[in-house]
Amino acid sequence: MSTSPPSGAYHHGDLHRALLEAAARLLIANGAAALTLREVARAAGVSHNAPYRHFASRQALLAELATEGFDRLRRRLDDVAPLTEERVRALGRAYLRFAVEERPYFLLMFGGEIEKSAFPALANAALTAYAILEGAVEAEGGRDPGEALRAWALVHGLAHLVVERQIPPEAAFAALG
């Protein structure tokens, strides 16, 4: 009925989205290191180089997945009620919960496999998510600018240690109080 199909449309619908969804399933199943472009194409039912119509490279596809991860993290942080009291701790718990529940995304986002500077949208999504944490710490009477960074680093450190299986999730949640 609409006069023009959505951009990126192909005979199956929206290949760009279909590829991303297939990639997300593979990421969750096997992790980023095992994610191959050819398998993504197979899962989407297209030839092994059809993805190049939509992604410049394997790195670019991973960067889009990581960007999606930061968007999800941001959404979780946005959902934390602005109690002003306890808000920083609640944000910390939300960050930790994201790491535990979306481990493959967290590992991709911080795993060092993607050079963020090469993908502006990714760098931007990361900054947007962090801004929420910074804002909350500053609002909570943080005069020292280093305090926001310490709060973020503490939560990020706990999350990363959990995701790397160096400490159990319960210990991390307990450490947050």
9 strand-pairing partners: 14
Does residue number 58 form part of the binding site for DNA (CB under 7 A)? yes
Say if CB 162 and CB 99 are below 8 A apart. Answer: yes
Query: Using CB under 8 A as the criterion, what x/- string covers residues 23-42 for binding a second copy?
Result: --------x-x---------
Size of the site for DNA (CB under 7 A): 23
Residues 103-122 that bind a second copy (CB under 8 A): 107, 110-113, 116-117
Contact between residue 95 and residue 133 where contact means Cβ atoms under 8 Å apart = yes
CB contact set of 141 (below 8 Å; sequence gap of 6+):
none
Q: Which of 30, 47, 84, 124 binds DNA (CB under 7 A)?
A: 47
| Closer residue to a second copy (CB): 4 or 117 | 117
Which of residues 17, 21, 31, 39 is near DNA by CB under 7 A?
A: 39
> Using CB under 8 A as the criterion, which residues of the chain lie in contact with a second copy when the complex forms?
31, 33, 107, 110-113, 116-117, 126, 130, 146, 149-150, 152-158, 160-161, 163-167, 171-172, 174-175, 177
